[in-house]
Amino acid sequence: GIQVEQSPPDLILQEGANSTLRCNFSDSVNNLQWFHQNPWGQLINLFYIPSGTKQNGRLSATTVATERYSLLYISSSQTTDSGVYFCAVEQGSNDYKLSFGAGTTVTVRA
Amino acid sequence: DAGITQSPRHKVTETGTPVTLRCHQTENHRYMYWYRQDPGHGLRLIHYSYGVKDTDKGEVSDGYSVSRSKTEDFLLTLESATSSQTSVYFCAISEGGSPQETQYFGPGTRLLVL
C-alpha cells in the first residue's frame, strides 16, 4: 500500500513562532487531508487539499501532487495549536479510504 | 459538528470476552469507517461501510467484525478480545461523492483489554 511519511516527528515551538510540517507520500493520490488531534484526543479536519494551496486563518497548506508532498504551515503559533498533526491520503479507489501518516507532535510553549 | 457519537466512551474488559462498540450518526452519510489509534502508528483502518449491509475490510481487520443494519449505526465487534486490541477506536464518516470528501471523526472509545 501507499506509504505516508511525516516530518519532523516532534516539534517544540515558542508562542508566536512559525513552523512547517511536511508530508511525503509514495504514490499518486486523489485525496489528501490534514487533521489536528488536540490534547483531549479530538480529531479535527483542517484541510482537504489534493493539490494547490489553501489558507484558513493562521494555517495554510500546499500540496505539490506531481512531487508527492504536502506542507502545512503554522504562523504565529499559539498554545492552542499544540497537539498531533496528521496527514492522510487516498490513492484512488471509490471508497475514500484514507491512509494516515504517524503524525507530527507539536508543543507550543507560552 | 457532523453529528457522530460513539458508545461506550471508555471500556475495560477481560481477554476472551466479546465487545461491541457503537457508532451513531445523525446525518445519513453513506460512508462510515472504524479506525484504531496506537502510539507510533497514526490511525489504521479496520473496516468500512459504503451503505447498509455493505462493508469491507481495511488494513487491520483480523479479529474484528462489523455490521451496518441501518444507515445511522455502524457496529464494531471484537469476538474474543485480546490484549493487542487495547487501543483507542475512532469512528468516522464521509459523504462520498461530494466535491470535498472530507472525513469527520467521532470522539473515540478508549478500550483496555486486561
Average pLDDT over residues B66-81: 96
Q: Which of A32, A46, A84, A95 to mutate to test the interface with B (most CBs of B within 10 A)?
A: A95
Q: Which of residues 25-84 of A touch B (CB under 8 A)?
A: 31, 33, 35, 41-43, 45, 48
Average pLDDT over residues B66-92: 97
CB contacts, 8 Å: A103 with chain B: 42
CB contacts, 8 Å: A35 with chain B: 105
CATH of the domain at A100: 2.60.40.10
**C-alpha distances in angstroms, B103 versus A6, A105, B1, B91?**
19, 21, 12, 10
Q: Please give the mean pLDDT across all residues of chain A.
A: 93
Q: Which amino acid is at B74?
A: F
Q: Domain limits at A50? A: 4-109
Average pLDDT over residues A4-14: 96
- The three state secondary structure string of chain A is CCCEEEECCEEEEECCCCEEEEEEECCCCCEEEEEEECCCCCEEEEEECCCEEEEECCEEEEEEHHHCEEEEEECCCCHHHCEEEEEEEECCCCCCCCEECCCEEEEEEC
Complete domains list, chain B, with CATH:
4-113 (2.60.40.10)
What residue in B sits closest to A30 (Cα-Cα)?
Answer: B101
Contact A96 B96 (CB under 8 A): yes
CB contacts, 8 Å: A42 with chain B: 105, 107-108
∠ Cα B41 B47 B50 (to 5°): 130
Q: What is the dihedral of CA A74, A78, A83, A88, to 10 degrees?
A: -20
Q: Which three cell numbers stand for residue A13?
A: 515551538
Domain count, chain A: 1
Contact B101 A45 (CB under 8 A): no
Choose between B100 and B9: higher pLDDT: B9
Choose between B16 and A98: higher pLDDT: B16
Q: Please report the pLDDT score of residue B96 as a whole number.
A: 63
Q: Please report the pLDDT score of residue B99 as a whole number.
A: 46
- Report the SS3 class of residue B83: helix
Q: Which of residues 25-84 of B touch A (CB under 8 A)?
A: 31, 33, 35, 40-45, 48, 50, 56, 58-59
Give the CA radius of gyration of chain A. Answer: 13
Q: Which residues does residue A88 pair with via DSSP β-bridges, in sequence order?
A: A33, A100
